Chains A and B, each alone.
Chain A
Amino acid sequence: MYQYLALAAILFAIGVFGVLTRRNAIGILMSLELMFNAANINLVAFNKFITPDGLTGQIFAIFVVVVAAAEAVVGLAIVLLLYRNWKGIDVDHINIMKW
């Protein structure tokens, strides 16, 4: 079980690194997907090793997948809109919401 949690932690750290360093908005969304997957690995591992009779972790993981899909759809729609209005999706240049 320790190995699964360690793998999830490393994957999450990779996702955090991507979110912090990518300039492309789509790159940030892809790193977010990595982080969602890390959380899901944790949920399923806890389900298998600690509460194998409930299957609650797997159900939660399914909900996480659904919400991640919804997030990706809305995020990509926003990215397309930004591209149409700014002719670029580098988040360095998109700073209209900076206080």
Chain B
Amino acid sequence: MDALGTMFSDLISDLTAQPVFYLLSFVIILSGLMVVTLKNIFHAAIFLILTLFSVAGIYILLHAEFLAAVQVLIYVGAVSILMIFAIMLTSELGSQRIRQSNEQVLVGIFVCAGFLIAVFGSLQNSVWRVSPDALPGNNILTLGKLLMTDFVLPFEVVSIVLLAALIGAVVLARQEGS
């Protein structure tokens, strides 16, 4: 199992990582644009699933295998399905005629361009102290140990947050008077 893991990480070494990264980012950016611009909100949800899958690929490139699995399980498996359920429950599927974007498209483009210029400017000018070390080989084991020792309090708090969200959703969506 461990040998398989090292073989896998050798496979996605820096030599092959570069083209895979560019392919994944191309898919992410293209389908992300589809998500925010498509007229049909259902198609936008399908492209959202594609984006989330590609982000899981980026996590694998970054040697965060557990996070990639979490991404596929929670985002692709749960959140997107919830979105599609909500779309089907609320808007008629043949709603392509309805305009999906408001009058702020120009403002939005300006805001995004300003944001990108600011971020890229600061990225160009900042120096990162890149560490020469590699991630620990047994990533998931370390992650589990950390979650159960150093980060046990946030871990429990987050479970309470999930419980609160669950109860809140049930209370909100309940039919009044039944």
Contacts and interface: CB of A to CB of B under 8 A. Distances in A.
B160 to A, nearest CB: 10
Interface string A64-85: 0111111111101111110100
A83 B90 contact: yes
Contacts, number: 217
A31 B36 contact: yes
Contacts of B135: 47-48, 52, 55
Given A11-B29, A74-B165, 17 more contacts: A7-B25, A9-B123, A24-B100, A30-B45, A30-B83, A33-B52, A44-B59, A55-B142, A58-B139, A59-B147, A59-B151, A61-B67, A62-B70, A67-B161, A69-B162, A77-B170, A92-B102
A41 B55 contact: yes
Interface residues of B, number: 78
Interface string B3-17: 000000000000000
B128 A69 contact: no
A94 interface: no
Interface residues of A, number: 66
Interface in A3-35: 3-7, 9-18, 20-24, 26-27, 29-31, 33-34
Interface of A: 1-7, 9-18, 20-24, 26-27, 29-31, 33-34, 37, 40-41, 44-45, 47-53, 55, 58-59, 61-63, 65-74, 76-81, 83, 89, 92
